[in-house]
Structure 1
């Protein structure tokens, strides 16, 4: 875990340009998501990028990204995730060897998992108390649970609690995916 770094948005913009050049119109939207997208939030120094697409086609999408050195992550959790009780298809690719550390999540634009990533980001950007509490939790967890797999397993139920608060916030403020920037 590191403190928030002001260069992360600029690094995201560069990466988004590279991805857009490779995917063209298949990428409906490229969003900076995850902890590095939230100013003031400590994070692992790994950018999370969400590419919203009208549909996913591994046979089409992976070769386009492989042509610029990205590698499809082999773990099973990198192809399916559960969001809002629904199994959602996704693809996660890693950068070329030696490039900026990132995880690029390809998701269907209308999927609940795409909404989840944006709501997580926007809620923590908007709520100072929640952002500080989430950052404190992750830092304590990282100190006490250095194994990344264990860290993730413990973080999942805490994320569900955070997202219940985020959903209340979304309802109260009228937040929607369509209005995200």
Structure 2
């Protein structure tokens, strides 16, 4: 049985929870973790979200030996899967979307291990940064998620089948935004 999708108002506790999670990850993974970032909806101030902390650990390779350290922290490997491929991005090699996905049993955490410089690693950070810089886009995104959860609370496939393409439309604007930022520097 799958979990019910529930979007709740933003919690001021999410950044603090992330900080505790990140500190433990950085200590356990040491130099294998090139970066530990709070990603996903709980990383956007004011954004309604599922009560799940998304964390991305950036590594040099998926071959780095992090599994034992993660297991000691209570993370259990769930799947080795590919990230969502945005429509029209057939140019992306499968390795650009590959990830490991973990979850922690005593707190709802999605831990994504991604390779430095790959599309999916950059995409997660761009999503976060764009929504932080564009609060009206974040508000519209929150409404979409709330409506999807209202209509599909027990159907994650339907929820994501609609949410992912909507997000892809927004991210096309984010790609242009980041190019303008780089150009203006």
TM-score, structure 2 as length reference: 0.86
Aligned residue in 2 for 1:79: 81
* Paired residues for 1:117-156 under 5 Å: 117-146=124-153, 147-156=155-164
Distance 2:117 2:57 in 1: 12
For residue 7 of structure 1, the aligned residue among 10, 13, 17 is 13
Establish whether residue 94 from structure 1 lines up as the match of residue 103 from structure 2: yes
Aligned residue in 2 for 1:39: 45
Distance 1:33 1:162 in 2: 16
Secondary structure of 2:11 counterpart: coil
- Cα distance, 1:66 vs. partner? 1.2
- Cα distance, 1:170 vs. partner? 1.0
- Cα distance, 1:86 vs. partner? 3.0
- Cα distance, 1:64 vs. partner? 2.2
Taking CA–CA contacts closer than 8 Å with sequence separation of 6 or more, which of the two structures ends up with the larger relative contact order? 2
* Paired residues for 1:56-67 under 5 Å: 56-57=62-63, 60-67=65-72
**Alignment check: 8 A CA contact 2:144 2:163 kept:** no
- Structure 2 gaps, min length 5: 1-6
